Amino acid sequence: MIRLAIQAKGRLNEESTEILTESGLTFEKSKRKLLTRCEDFPLEILYLRDDDIPGAVEMGVADIGIVGLNEVVEKAADVEIIHKLGFGKCRLSLAIPKSETYEGVASFNGKRVATSYPVILKDFFYSKGVSAQIHKIAGSVEVAPSVGMADAIFDIVSTGGTLITNGLKEVEKVFLSEAVLIVNKEIDNEKRTLVNQLISRFEAVERSKGMKYLLMNIPLSMVDDAAILIPGMRSPTILPLAQPGWCSMHVVVNENQLWPKLESLKAIGAEGILVLSLDKMMP
């Protein structure tokens, strides 16, 4: 049995729950039950505040956790970052009132900066030789300049909507973050095996994102040309049709190359093209 800590509420909760569900794990999703058991995998899910997750994994209260890289670095947690999950992408940025002119990072010298991430900000200022006053606040950081609490802020930016709404502009992108899977460094081999199984399920889900399954009928004489256009994972699957001289070709393609490929395939004689969604892909 392993215990996984995920965010109880907030920006990573939904996507964390989604990747677990897409990985075939069934569990109760009540917002009130803070420790729940998976029905079909030896896994317990512990719901925590995101900034408590790195410490919980470091202490072994949870064996693994899904949390933003920003929280892991801010807490300087002694955990293993074992897998990047590709969701929850955001950045930690410095922002100032939009009416002000930005004159480079040296302009933060002597300024008061409000943030929930003082460790990352202190490191950044140190690396740039800036001496500023860092005020740690737990939330509502973007309001600090307009109420006279600070001259600037350092906080999470995702869409940038919160900055705009609060009359601020982003002037320095300091730290890029995304959700990561972290692991306690002292878990035993049995738990490590379960963690690896979980990662392999996550990878199967991640691999299928943006991929489509393509089926078409094509003259046998055009198979080599089509295989150049759509080589697939190893090579396309070719199945005979009842009609001589024709076959059915099946292949996995990346969605962002789909339309040009479909047009080229039609141009070389492909017919009856079907594009299907994919749920999971194991290598």
Residues in the site for ligand PRP, rule: CB under 6 A?
A: 10-11, 139, 141-142, 155-162
As measured in angstroms, the least distance from the Cβ of 174 to ligand PRP is: 14
As measured in angstroms, the least distance from the Cβ of 230 to ligand PRP is: 37
Q: Which is nearer to ligand PRP, 27 or 154 (CB)?
A: 154
- Work out whether the CA dihedral 173, 6, 138, 124 comes out positive or negative: negative
As measured in angstroms, the least distance from the Cβ of 157 to ligand PRP is: 4
As measured in angstroms, the least distance from the Cβ of 265 to ligand PRP is: 39
- Work out whether the CA dihedral 159, 50, 153, 176 comes out positive or negative: negative
Q: Which is nearer to ligand PRP, 129 or 139 (CB)?
A: 139
Q: Which is nearer to ligand PRP, 159 or 256 (CB)?
A: 159
Q: Which is nearer to ligand PRP, 12 or 105 (CB)?
A: 12
Place of tokens 């995920």: 6
As measured in angstroms, the least distance from the Cβ of 18 to ligand PRP is: 17
Q: Which is nearer to ligand PRP, 36 or 162 (CB)?
A: 162
**Secondary structure of 100-147 in HEC code, one letter for each residue:** CCCCCHHHHCCCEEEECCHHHHHHHHHHHCCCCEEEECCCCHHHCHHH
